[in-house]
Amino acid sequence: MPNDYWEASSPLYRKTVFTGMAFLGIGIVLSIVGNFGHIMWLTYASIAVIGIGLMAHLVGLGIRVRDAKRRARQ
């Protein structure tokens, strides 16, 4: 059933979700490197990158809701 949701989703939603996941993954890696290397600016930068990833996911949720409302009207 989850595959049906994914197949029915718009390309914009898919791109937004993958972009969010990429930013989250990069942010986590930066955080690990910054913490193990005791590089504070990198640790703080990783927080910003993770925040961008979270915002992309929120935008994706908005796109998903918009698409669902369009399908419900049809």
Please state the domain extents for the chain: 11-69
pLDDT of residue 9: 82
DSSP state of 10: -
Counting residues of the chain whose pLDDT is more than 90, the rounded percentage is 72
Query: Chain-wide mean pLDDT for the chain?
Result: 91
Has residue 6 got a pLDDT over 90?
no
Q: What is the pLDDT of residues 30-70, one digit of tens each?
A: 999 999 999 999 999 999 999 999 999 999 999 999 988 88
Instruction: Tell me, letter by letter, the H, E, C secondary structure of 32-66.
Output: HHHHHCCCHHHHHHHHHHHHHHHHHHHHHHHHHHH
